[in-house]
Amino acid sequence: MPKRVLVVEDDATIRDTLTFNLRKEGYAVTVAHDGADALTRARDSRPDLILLDLMLPELNGLEVCRILRQEGNVPIIMLTAKESEVDKVVGLQLGADDYITKPFSLRELFARMTAVLRRSEQRGRAEAHSERVGTARLPGPPAGTRFYPRDPARTGLGLQVPGRPQDGRRPHPMAT
pTM of the model: 0.70
Q: What is the pLDDT of residues 60-82, one digit of tens each?
A: 999 999 999 999 999 999 999 99
Task: Please check the confidence at residue 29 and state whether its pLDDT lies above 80.
Answer: yes
CATH of 4-131, one of 3.40.50.720, 3.40.50.2300, 1.10.287.3510, 2.40.50.140: 3.40.50.2300
Q: Which stretch of 21-30, 77-86, 131-140 has the lowest confidence by average pLDDT?
A: 131-140
Q: Which stretch of 29-38, 59-68, 118-127, 131-140 has the lowest confidence by average pLDDT?
A: 131-140
Where along the chain do its domains lie?
4-131
CB 88 within 8 Å of CB 44: no
CB 34 within 8 Å of CB 57: yes
pLDDT of residue 122: 78
